[in-house]
A and B are shown apart, each in its own frame.
Chain A
Protein backbone atom coordinates (compact mmCIF):
# COMPACT_ATOMS: atom_id res chain seq x y z
CA UNK A 1 0.00 0.00 0.00
CA UNK A 2 1.44 3.33 -1.06
CA UNK A 3 1.88 5.86 1.73
CA UNK A 4 2.94 9.50 1.69
CA UNK A 5 4.11 11.42 4.74
CA UNK A 6 4.80 15.15 4.98
CA UNK A 7 7.48 16.46 7.31
CA UNK A 8 8.85 19.86 8.18
CA UNK A 9 8.52 22.78 10.58
CA UNK A 10 5.05 23.67 11.78
CA UNK A 11 5.97 27.30 12.36
CA UNK A 12 7.73 29.63 9.93
CA UNK A 13 8.50 33.31 10.37
CA UNK A 14 7.23 35.89 7.88
CA UNK A 15 9.61 36.54 4.95
CA UNK A 16 11.38 33.22 5.51
CA UNK A 17 11.20 30.03 3.45
CA UNK A 18 8.72 27.24 4.11
CA UNK A 19 10.34 23.85 3.44
CA UNK A 20 8.49 20.54 3.47
CA UNK A 21 9.43 17.03 2.43
CA UNK A 22 7.16 14.20 1.36
CA UNK A 23 8.46 10.67 1.90
CA UNK A 24 6.91 7.98 -0.28
CA UNK A 25 6.80 4.39 0.98
CA UNK A 26 5.31 1.22 -0.43
CA UNK A 27 6.18 2.21 -3.99
CA UNK A 28 8.75 3.94 -6.12
CA UNK A 29 8.73 7.61 -6.90
CA UNK A 30 10.56 6.81 -10.14
CA UNK A 31 7.52 5.84 -12.16
CA UNK A 32 6.85 7.54 -15.46
CA UNK A 33 3.13 6.97 -14.93
CA UNK A 34 2.76 9.42 -12.09
CA UNK A 35 3.57 12.91 -10.93
CA UNK A 36 4.01 14.10 -7.36
CA UNK A 37 2.38 17.24 -6.15
CA UNK A 38 1.72 19.67 -3.35
CA UNK A 39 -1.72 21.02 -2.48
CA UNK A 40 -2.64 23.34 0.37
CA UNK A 41 -5.90 24.05 2.13
CA UNK A 42 -7.05 27.13 3.97
CA UNK A 43 -10.47 28.00 5.38
CA UNK A 44 -10.61 31.07 3.15
CA UNK A 45 -9.31 29.79 -0.21
CA UNK A 46 -10.14 26.11 0.05
CA UNK A 47 -7.95 23.63 -1.80
CA UNK A 48 -5.19 25.15 -3.91
CA UNK A 49 -2.82 23.23 -6.17
CA UNK A 50 0.74 24.48 -5.67
CA UNK A 51 2.63 22.44 -8.23
CA UNK A 52 3.78 19.03 -9.39
CA UNK A 53 6.96 17.24 -10.41
CA UNK A 54 7.73 14.13 -12.44
CA UNK A 55 10.57 11.81 -11.41
CA UNK A 56 12.51 13.19 -14.35
CA UNK A 57 12.48 16.59 -12.67
CA UNK A 58 9.97 18.31 -14.95
CA UNK A 59 7.93 20.75 -12.90
CA UNK A 60 4.60 22.52 -13.24
CA UNK A 61 3.62 25.36 -10.92
CA UNK A 62 0.50 27.35 -10.18
CA UNK A 63 1.10 30.77 -11.80
CA UNK A 64 -0.19 32.44 -8.64
CA UNK A 65 2.76 31.01 -6.68
CA UNK A 66 5.31 30.32 -9.40
CA UNK A 67 7.65 33.19 -8.49
CA UNK A 68 8.08 31.82 -4.94
CA UNK A 69 7.91 28.03 -5.37
CA UNK A 70 10.44 25.31 -6.06
CA UNK A 71 9.56 21.62 -6.06
CA UNK A 72 12.37 19.08 -6.29
CA UNK A 73 12.69 15.30 -6.24
CA UNK A 74 15.25 12.98 -4.67
CA UNK A 75 14.75 9.56 -6.22
CA UNK A 76 17.50 8.01 -4.07
CA UNK A 77 15.52 8.85 -0.95
CA UNK A 78 12.08 8.33 -2.56
CA UNK A 79 11.19 11.88 -1.52
CA UNK A 80 10.10 15.13 -3.04
CA UNK A 81 10.22 18.57 -1.49
CA UNK A 82 8.54 21.97 -1.48
CA UNK A 83 10.22 25.30 -0.91
CA UNK A 84 8.00 28.39 -0.68
CA UNK A 85 9.94 31.63 -0.30
CA UNK A 86 9.04 34.94 1.30
CA UNK A 87 6.05 33.61 3.18
CA UNK A 88 3.35 35.73 4.75
CA UNK A 89 0.41 34.96 7.03
CA UNK A 90 -1.59 34.17 3.88
CA UNK A 91 0.56 31.08 3.40
CA UNK A 92 -0.69 29.58 6.67
CA UNK A 93 -2.41 26.37 5.62
CA UNK A 94 -2.54 22.61 5.83
CA UNK A 95 -0.10 21.34 3.22
CA UNK A 96 -0.69 18.00 1.53
CA UNK A 97 1.53 15.96 -0.74
CA UNK A 98 -0.16 13.66 -3.23
CA UNK A 99 0.42 11.30 -6.12
CA UNK A 100 -1.25 12.18 -9.37
CA UNK A 101 -1.66 10.92 -12.87
CA UNK A 102 -3.07 12.30 -16.05
CA UNK A 103 -5.84 9.71 -15.92
CA UNK A 104 -6.75 9.46 -12.25
CA UNK A 105 -6.31 12.84 -10.64
CA UNK A 106 -4.73 12.53 -7.18
CA UNK A 107 -5.22 9.02 -5.84
CA UNK A 108 -2.92 8.93 -2.81
CA UNK A 109 -2.52 11.76 -0.31
CA UNK A 110 -0.44 12.36 2.77
CA UNK A 111 -2.24 13.11 6.02
CA UNK A 112 -1.39 16.80 5.75
CA UNK A 113 0.70 19.08 7.92
CA UNK A 114 -0.32 22.43 9.34
CA UNK A 115 2.17 25.21 8.72
CA UNK A 116 1.63 28.49 10.52
CA UNK A 117 3.39 31.66 9.43
CA UNK A 118 3.90 33.88 12.43
CA UNK A 119 6.64 35.77 14.21
Chain B
Protein backbone atom coordinates (compact mmCIF):
# COMPACT_ATOMS: atom_id res chain seq x y z
CA UNK B 1 0.00 0.00 0.00
CA UNK B 2 1.26 3.47 -0.88
CA UNK B 3 1.25 5.75 2.16
CA UNK B 4 0.78 9.45 1.46
CA UNK B 5 2.13 11.95 3.99
CA UNK B 6 0.90 15.52 3.76
CA UNK B 7 2.62 18.51 5.30
CA UNK B 8 2.16 20.76 7.04
CA UNK B 9 -0.84 19.60 9.00
CA UNK B 10 -2.10 23.16 9.27
CA UNK B 11 -1.18 26.25 7.27
CA UNK B 12 -2.14 29.64 8.71
CA UNK B 13 -2.18 32.31 6.02
CA UNK B 14 -3.93 35.54 5.09
CA UNK B 15 -6.07 36.14 2.01
CA UNK B 16 -3.87 37.10 -0.93
CA UNK B 17 -0.94 35.02 0.28
CA UNK B 18 0.54 32.02 -1.51
CA UNK B 19 -0.07 28.51 -0.14
CA UNK B 20 2.26 25.59 -0.78
CA UNK B 21 1.09 22.13 0.28
CA UNK B 22 3.20 18.98 0.12
CA UNK B 23 2.31 15.34 -0.45
CA UNK B 24 5.02 12.70 -0.19
CA UNK B 25 4.45 9.07 -1.22
CA UNK B 26 6.11 6.02 0.33
CA UNK B 27 6.82 4.71 -3.18
CA UNK B 28 6.60 6.07 -6.68
CA UNK B 29 3.07 6.93 -7.84
CA UNK B 30 2.30 5.13 -11.10
CA UNK B 31 2.12 7.40 -14.16
CA UNK B 32 1.65 10.45 -11.98
CA UNK B 33 -1.84 9.33 -10.95
CA UNK B 34 -2.00 11.83 -8.11
CA UNK B 35 -5.05 13.96 -7.38
CA UNK B 36 -5.77 16.85 -5.03
CA UNK B 37 -9.16 17.50 -3.43
CA UNK B 38 -10.62 20.38 -1.47
CA UNK B 39 -13.10 19.72 1.32
CA UNK B 40 -15.17 22.22 3.24
CA UNK B 41 -17.13 21.39 6.42
CA UNK B 42 -20.20 19.30 5.73
CA UNK B 43 -19.31 18.83 2.06
CA UNK B 44 -17.87 16.06 -0.06
CA UNK B 45 -14.34 16.38 -1.38
CA UNK B 46 -14.07 18.31 -4.65
CA UNK B 47 -11.57 17.33 -7.31
CA UNK B 48 -9.08 20.14 -8.02
CA UNK B 49 -6.11 18.50 -9.74
CA UNK B 50 -5.64 15.15 -11.46
CA UNK B 51 -2.63 13.56 -13.11
CA UNK B 52 -0.48 15.59 -10.68
CA UNK B 53 -0.81 18.82 -12.67
CA UNK B 54 -4.04 19.01 -14.67
CA UNK B 55 -6.83 21.22 -13.36
CA UNK B 56 -10.28 19.67 -13.19
CA UNK B 57 -13.18 21.32 -14.99
CA UNK B 58 -14.09 24.72 -13.55
CA UNK B 59 -11.10 25.00 -11.22
CA UNK B 60 -9.55 28.50 -11.15
CA UNK B 61 -6.02 28.87 -12.46
CA UNK B 62 -4.75 30.05 -9.08
CA UNK B 63 -4.64 26.33 -8.24
CA UNK B 64 -1.70 24.42 -9.69
CA UNK B 65 -0.15 21.03 -9.10
CA UNK B 66 3.33 19.78 -9.74
CA UNK B 67 5.63 16.90 -8.96
CA UNK B 68 6.36 13.34 -9.96
CA UNK B 69 7.57 10.09 -8.48
CA UNK B 70 7.17 10.48 -4.74
CA UNK B 71 6.99 14.26 -4.22
CA UNK B 72 4.01 16.39 -5.18
CA UNK B 73 2.94 19.95 -4.47
CA UNK B 74 -0.31 21.88 -4.61
CA UNK B 75 0.11 25.63 -4.91
CA UNK B 76 -2.59 28.25 -4.47
CA UNK B 77 -1.09 31.40 -5.90
CA UNK B 78 -3.25 33.95 -4.10
CA UNK B 79 -5.66 32.75 -1.44
CA UNK B 80 -9.26 33.80 -1.82
CA UNK B 81 -11.65 33.68 1.18
CA UNK B 82 -13.35 30.59 -0.27
CA UNK B 83 -10.04 28.68 -0.41
CA UNK B 84 -9.78 28.18 3.33
CA UNK B 85 -10.53 24.48 3.65
CA UNK B 86 -8.87 21.08 4.06
CA UNK B 87 -6.90 19.67 1.13
CA UNK B 88 -6.21 16.00 0.50
CA UNK B 89 -3.97 14.22 -1.96
CA UNK B 90 -4.87 10.80 -3.35
CA UNK B 91 -3.00 8.30 -5.45
CA UNK B 92 -5.17 6.30 -7.83
CA UNK B 93 -2.54 4.42 -9.80
CA UNK B 94 -2.11 1.49 -7.44
CA UNK B 95 -4.64 -0.56 -5.54
CA UNK B 96 -5.58 0.10 -2.82
CA UNK B 97 -6.27 3.73 -3.66
CA UNK B 98 -5.02 5.82 -0.75
CA UNK B 99 -5.42 9.34 0.60
CA UNK B 100 -3.15 11.58 2.57
CA UNK B 101 -4.12 12.79 6.02
CA UNK B 102 -4.93 16.30 4.82
CA UNK B 103 -3.66 19.86 5.24
CA UNK B 104 -5.94 22.45 6.77
CA UNK B 105 -5.52 25.94 5.33
CA UNK B 106 -6.84 28.36 7.90
CA UNK B 107 -7.16 32.11 8.10
CA UNK B 108 -4.33 33.72 10.03
Contact = CB atoms under 8 A, between A and B. Distances in A.
Interface SS of B by simple majority:
loop
Given A105-B33, A105-B35, A47 B51 contact: no
Interface residues of A, number: 23
Interface string A94-117: 001010101111110111100000
A46 B47 contact: no
Contacts of A47: 45, 88, 90, 99, 102
A60 B102 CA distance: 24
A86 to B, nearest CB: 20
Contacts of B50: 103-105, 107
B66 interface: no
Interface residues of B, number: 24
Contacts of A49: 96-99
Contact of B92 (A63, A96, A105): A105
A92 B98 CA distance: 19
A46 B102 contact: yes
Contacts of B56: 104, 107
Contacts of A64: 96
A48 B44 contact: no
B69 interface: no
Given A47-B45, A107-B47, A102 B92 contact: yes
Interface of B: 1, 33, 35, 37, 43-47, 50-51, 56-57, 88, 90, 92, 95-102
